[in-house]
Amino acid sequence: MFSQAAKYAIKSIIYIWTQSLEDRKVGVKEIASNIGAPEAFTAKILQNLSKANFIGSVKGPNGGFYSDESHAKVTLKDVIKLIDGDHLFSGCSLGLPKCSEKNPCPLHFEVVKVRKEIDIMLTSKSLKHLAVEVIKGLTQLNQI
């Protein structure tokens, strides 16, 4: 459903939150290792997330990536739109240029229903909330 870059971005932010809630900043190597992603690709993703202010970044010997309350409301939808664009949330599923309620394609009304459910799923919990679930052991970020 999501691109590999979006999956890595989501896992990166969740991992960063798990560490930030323990008052730790983390580097690219640690993040990439803990989410099972290539380091160079992870670095590029983290740069985009930082520019969008979805995470924070501090340079220097005590630096690294972190999340704080200014990032607490970032949702899955925010990340997906940043990394993959908004095509999951808009446009005709069959690629018709004039698909609408008045001029629907054969899939239009079904896709509208599915998009509403996807929107609820992607906005109902912040990435901070998902990280707390990982910390509590309710969910897991890594394969066992």
Burial pattern 93-108, b for ≥16 Cβ within 10 A else e, equals beeeeebeeeebeeeb
pLDDT in the model for residue 41: 97
Residue 11 has a CB neighbour count (10 Å cut-off) of 21
pLDDT in the model for residue 111: 93
pTM: 0.90
Q: pLDDT below 50 — which residues of the chain?
A: 144
Domains of the chain: residue spans and CATH: 4-135 (1.10.10.10)
pLDDT in the model for residue 144: 46
Angle ∠(70,76,77) on CA atoms, nearest 5? 100
Reported as a single tens digit per residue, the pLDDT across 39-64 is 999 999 999 999 999 999 999 888 99
